[in-house]
Amino acid sequence: MPIDAAKALAAEPRSAEITWDHKDIQLYHLGLGAGVPATDPDELRYTLESKLHVLPSFATVAGAGMGMLGGLSSPGIEVNLAAVLHGGQSITLHRPIPVKGKAVTTSKVAAVYDKTKAAILVLRTEVADAEGPLWTSDAQIFVRGEGGFGGERGPSTRLPAPEGEPHTTVERPVREEQALLYRLSGDWNPLHADPEFAKLAGFDRPILHGLCTYGMTLKAVVDTLLGGDVSRVRSYSTRFTGTVFPGETLRIRMWRSEGRVQVAVTAVERDDAPVLADTIVEHV
């Protein structure tokens, strides 16, 4: 069987050293569409090294996504990458991410769930520097055709729909070249750049990275409801429900309650087709 759950869960964690500096942070922020207008003081916090802060979703690309790559190559995991989908992502911040850092990332398969027609792998990455833990992230990987092995079904990630009208709604355009810029942060999948490859995957043109939408959404929440203060974010989780094409517009609806924001993201030009669901930003 391609997935041996017991072997995967028993495997020793894998560790590697990662480094980053202001150039990596700036490139990531630009890949999310930051810097418009270029001289806006609020945008300079994402683009100018003398004023720079780090959006917490940078954790998904630090070290070029070492945690996810390590998890998919763990003992007991032999899957066809064409059957792999990124189903969800969560990050827990232990303290703000520094603009320049050197840290050790440790990854493991934290859970394997049996959804009958598919398996879900939870790939956990813990990152710490000399001062202690920085962040913990979980990637939920959906592997089609690998269920039915008699394992635990796992918890439901569906949240109750928020009540009433959203506290606020914003729209964020996705530039035509945005996927080409975002992939420079480490995700080189040709699905996001090569039209011929995209057609082989069932799309009429390249699609935007799900984690780019994830980062754009967090930036919108921080800028709109958290006063632009990235240090207020404590955790951020989502479930990927649809694709986004470069050139489209994201509609980001936010419902605010004490200590958290629930978010729904849709694609405006496709009749508000769902893109991100069950999305929560917890904050102070």
Q: Among all residues, which ones are annotated catalytic? A: 187, 192
Q: What is the DSSP string of the chain?
A: --B-HHHHHHSPPEEEEEEE-HHHHHHHHHHTT--SSTT-HHHHHHH-GGG----GGGGGTTTTTHHHHHHHTSTTB---GGGEEEEEEEEEESSPPPSSEEEEEEEEEEEEEE-SSEEEEEEEEEEEETTEEEEEEEEEEEEET---SS---------PPPPSS-SEEEEEEPPTTHHHHHGGGS---GGGT-HHHHHHTT-SS----HHHHHHHHHHHHHHHHSTT-GGGEEEEEEEE-S---TT-EEEEEEEEETTEEEEEEEEGGGTSEEEEEEEEEEE-
**CA–CA separation, 34 and 90 (whole Å):** 22
- Give the amino acid at 268: V
- Give the amino acid at 271: D
**Is 109 within 8 Å of 11 (Cβ atoms)?**
yes
**CA–CA separation, 226 and 234 (whole Å):** 12
Q: Which residues pair with 133 in a beta bridge?
A: 128
**Token couple for 104:** 């050790």
